[in-house]
A and B are shown apart, each in its own frame.
Chain A
Amino acid sequence: MQKKIIITGFGGQGVILAGRIVGKAAAIRDKLESSLVQSYGPESRGGACSVQVTIADSQIYYPYITIPDILVCMSQAGYDKYHDQLTEHTVLIVDQDLVTPRDNREYFAIPATRFAEEMGLKMMANIIMIGFFVGITEAVSLESARDTVAESVPPKTVETNLKAFERGWDFAQATLKSRRKKAAGHIGVVA
């Protein structure tokens, strides 16, 4: 088993932290192997930023990803960069207010940044996205992800971050439910 995950965005969104939480949840809590490599420009804020997380049940030799199994995009630039590397099997997840996919392939969308703003802290968009990502892909287990969020954020913000995580997770459940209905022939709202 090997899952190759790329999370992209711009600096300051917490993309690297999101990747670390996913990788750590897999490696430490789910007892799998995981490697994380990142790329970033010289700027601390605003530049393109991406993190590549490989999760596997055996030793990972080469930590870089050319064809992702899961691509999470929190910026249009990030989407554009990896667009050509998507296959029909790639699960695409986007922040719907920041990314407009260019083709008709299926994807999962969440207004993560908008939710975060509603919750009063824009910088929690990454945690909402992790909740959504875990709900959609089950790349790491729910408990592992939640516990890793709790230990990865400042102690005073654990509660609000866990709420953010739940918000993303719940939105994933709603999304999947409506997809199942749709697949079963019902008419519903696709988020």
Chain B
Amino acid sequence: MTATSAAAAAPALSHPLDDLIRTDRIPHIWCPGCGTGTVFSSCLTAMKSSGIDLQKTTMVSGIGCSGRGAGYVMLDSFHTTHGRAIPFATGLKLGNPELNVVVFSGDGDLFAIGGNHFIHAARRNIDMTVICVNNLTYGMTGGQVAATTPHMAKTTTTQTGNPDSPFNLPLLAWASGATFVARWTMLHTRELTDCIQTAILKSGFSFIEVLAPCPTNYGRRNKEKTMDTLNLYRDKTIIRNNADPADLDIDFQKEVILGEFVNKERATCIENYDRTCRIL
């Protein structure tokens, strides 16, 4: 280990987030240049800065690259089955409403195999924060087409280009009833961290889509070098809070809108249940 400052050449370096990660499992499995680590780091920073009781905070993941998030956080954490992070988290939250529940997973997990669970949790307004690392592909299995893969993008299962169109995730979240909806890229780390903190502190179903590069399995096939992707994030995005969710298609040929789009109040699932069903 090397410190660049002679004054601080202490033998044991300690990253400010080391208390929140399982350091014995680091380095993690994410590839060089993968954005998941940055989103994960941002999420941990937000958890810390939000001031919530971390002992009562859990992270739930599904399957996939970002699904490994739960395995690195030094909190109660659950790495569930593919697509089922949200219903598992629903049981956790309803079983103990004191828990702060953060779902950290990927686009394939949350919106293809788990799409049905997402819309229903949003409809019920279950008090949880869902962070979706959207890398536009199935990274873990080697880069197959996802429900978020852009039209005509090349993947191992769409070698001549994706014939289908991707979901507009914030639109889907808004239409399903989410009370907080936002999108950032992993390059917009400060905004993302603030946004995750807001989402964690907000009661109700919060959804944050975070664009993150998959250089190994998406970028490579679509002639997009890691730094190219980040440059797109910098040059081809525009922050427009409260934008119409219908305008949020991701097309880097044009500009991609980032920001906080929905932030409204609605009774949560538990509040409604207590009010409606707990009548003796």
Does A touch B (CB under 8 Å) in the complex?
no
